[in-house]
Amino acid sequence: MSQKISPQAALIYTMITTSAVDNLMSDPELRRIGWIVKELPVFRDFDETSLIEHAQACGKLMSGPDGLIATLETIASALPEHLRETAYALACEVAVTDDVVIEERRFLQLLRQHLHLDKLTTSAIERGALARHQPL
């Protein structure tokens, strides 16, 4: 059974889980999450000071029984249809902040399944994130 969280918390859980799934939350990933929460319209009325609290709650959920699946179910149940692509896009933004590892690729696949997103849409989102993070 999934916890009840707000859609904004679900977006934060998505980003935190993307970063943590490889057991290493890098500074660039954490900075990217902070920037996203500070700048994107979906977080306009969000209390930024609660970001750490949400990250800790996500970590607690992840470390529980069936942690990854419970987290994915919590995220999916909290997101309205119109924010599911947003969640996937934010996960991709965090994943491409540094080298995308196999654990992050697998998490993105599971997220896509839990959010019921089609492969064409998610491929476009992934490609857009990669294009935005291309080095010179």
- The model's confidence at residue 23, banded by pLDDT at 50, 70 and 90, is confident
How much is the average pLDDT of 47-69?
92
With contact defined as beta carbons under 8 Å apart, do 62 and 71 qualify? yes
Q: 90, 15 in Cβ contact below 8 A?
A: yes
Question: Residue 2: pLDDT band by 50, 70, 90 thresholds?
Answer: low
Which phi-psi region, left, alpha or beta, contains residue 4 (left: φ > 0; alpha: ψ -120 to 50)? beta
Q: Is the pLDDT of residue 77 over 70?
A: yes
Spatial CB neighbours of 86, under 8 Å, sequence gap ≥ 6: 11, 42
- Domains of the chain from N-terminus onward: 7-132 (1.10.3680)
Instruction: Say whether pLDDT at 134 is over 90.
Output: no
Contact 126, 55 (CB under 8 A): no
* Model pTM score: 0.93
| Cβ atoms < 10 Å from Cβ of 5 | 20
